[in-house]
Amino acid sequence: MPRLLVRRPSPLLAEGELTHLDRVPVDPALAPTQWEAYVEVFRSRGWDVIEVAPADSHPDGVFVEDAVVVFGDLAVLCRAGAESRRGEAASVGAAVEASGLRLSTIEAPGTLDGGDVLKIGRTVYVGASSRTNAAGTAQLREALAPDGWEVVAVPVSKVLHLKSGVTALPDGTVVGFPSLVDAPGAFEKFVPVPEEHGTAVVVLDSQTVLMSADAPVTAAQHRARGLDVLTVDVSEFEKLEGCVTCLSVRIRD
C-alpha cells in the first residue's frame, strides 16, 4: 500500500515565506478545509495517510515535501534554503525513520528543498534555485550514487522551486508553463501547458494524476492524452507559492 506523509497547516500559515509573489490575504478557515479535501483524495484511493507531528510555530510546515525526498527505500532529509524553515526537518525525520526507510541527511553548508527535486525514471533533476545550492546537490548526488540514480542540475530563477515550474506525467513527459521555465531543453520531452497553476501534477498511478482545480484547460489537455485527472482546490496554498506536489511526500512500496 502506498503511504502519504502530510502535516496539518499551521495557524501561522499566512505568515509563510514568499519569494516571487506579493502577499495577499489567506483564508484561515478555508486552508484547513482544502487540506482535508486534498488528503481525502489519497485516502479514498487506498493510500495510507501518515500525519507528521504538527509544527504550529512554522508557517510553512504544511509544505512537507520540502523537508524530505524519498528514493525507493532511501529517504534524504533536506536542509532548507530558508533559515526560518530549518526547524521543520526534525519531526519529518522522525516520521520517516518510523516508516522503516533508510535515512541520509543533507548537512551544512549544503541546502536542498524537496520542491527542487523531480524524479523521472532513474534520473533526478535538481533545481539550482534560491533554496538549493551546489553543495546540497553534490551531497544528494553522493547519497544516490550507490543506488544508480543520475543527478542532473537545472537552472531555476523564475519560480521558487523547480516543481513550481515543471512536473512530470506518468510517462515521463515534463509539463510546465513556458514563462516559468528557465531551461525546457534540459528535459528529454517538454510539453507546455496553458495555465500557470497547471504546472503541477501528482502522479497517483500509471493512468491518474492530481492537479489544481484552477487549471481546467490544462486538465482537459491531460485528459485528451488519455489520463484520468482528479482536481482539488488549493487556492490558499497557491497564494504562498505552494501547489499540489508540496503538500505531501509519497512513499511507494
Q: Is 177 helix (H, G, I), strand (E, B) or coil?
A: coil
Cell matching residue 133: 545550492
C-alpha cell at 66: 520540502
78 is catalytic: no
- Please identify which of the residues 58, 78, 161, 222 carries the catalytic annotation: 161
Q: What is the DSSP string of 118-157?
A: EEETTEEEEEE-SS--HHHHHHHHHHHGGGT-EEEEEE--
Q: Is the Cα torsion angle 43, 46, 47, 53 positive or negative in sign?
A: positive
- Map residue 87 onto helix, strand or coil: helix
Tell me how crowded residue 165 is: count the other CB atoms within 10 A of its CB.
29
Q: Determine whether 222 is an active site residue.
A: no
Which cell is 163 given?
A: 516543481
Q: 151 near 128, Cβ under 8 Å?
A: no
> If 0-12 CB within 10 Å is exposed, 13-18 middle and 19+ buried, where does residue 185 land?
exposed
Active site residue: 78, 197, 222, 246, which one? 246
Catalytic residues: 161, 246
